């Protein structure tokens, strides 16, 4: 299931991406428009800024703004920053692999095989779409 952090992060990014002027937008405006708790949104936007998706400006006329073209922001990158591993179980994760303690043989594990298919399907969607594609 998609976390609220990721859902709200995607909503905030798409809101900023639809702004034609690309000028900074205050957190309060994004929160109000997208019906997100301002305090929760603040931490999400900070994460997105620290990971190179957003810039910020302090003071009058300040706020957050996209620093990349929406077409240059792959959904895989957004998902990994906000959601963490794309895989549903650690034994099939590409970037966060861990063997399952309760599984003696991954190659014979039916859950492992199923989760590989699920991961690959999700990656297909995320890799082939950018922020621009969901606007």
CATH architecture of the region 4-66: Orthogonal Bundle (1.10)
Question: What torsion, rounded to 10 degrees, do the Cα atoms 23, 27, 33, 38 define?
Answer: 170
Distance CA 90, CA 63 (A): 37
Domain with CATH 1.10.10.10 in the chain: 4-66
What would the mean pLDDT of 26-52 be, rounded to a whole number?
A: 96
Return the pLDDT at 1.
Answer: 80
Residues 75-112 pLDDT 10s: 999 999 999 888 889 899 988 898 888 888 888 899 99
What is the dihedral sign for C-alpha 31, 34, 35, 36? negative
Q: Which residue has the higher pLDDT, 89 or 45?
A: 45
- Range with lowest mean pLDDT among 15-19, 36-40, 105-109: 105-109
Find the mean pLDDT for residues 58-65: 90
pLDDT score for 85:
86
Cα(53)–Cα(60) distance, integer angstroms: 22
What is the overall mean pLDDT for the chain?
93
Percent of the chain with pLDDT over 90: 75
Model pTM score: 0.87
């Amino acid at each position: 299931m998609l976390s609220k952090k990721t859902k709200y992060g995607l909503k905030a990014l798409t809101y900023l991406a639809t702004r034609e002027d690309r000028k900074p937008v205050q957190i309060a405006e994004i929160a109000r428009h997208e019906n997100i708790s301002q305090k929760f949104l603040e931490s999400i936007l900070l994460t997105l800024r620290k990971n190179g998706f957003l810039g910020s400006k302090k003071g009058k006329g300040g706020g957050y703004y996209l620093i990349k073209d929406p077409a240059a922001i792959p959904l895989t990158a957004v998902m990994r920053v906000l959601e963490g591993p794309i895989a549903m179980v650690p034994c099939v994760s590409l970037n966060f692999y861990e063997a399952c303690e309760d599984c003696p043989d991954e190659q014979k594990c039916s859950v492992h095989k199923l989760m590989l298919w699920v991961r690959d399907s999700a990656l297909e969607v995320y890799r082939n779409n950018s922020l621009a594609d969901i606007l």
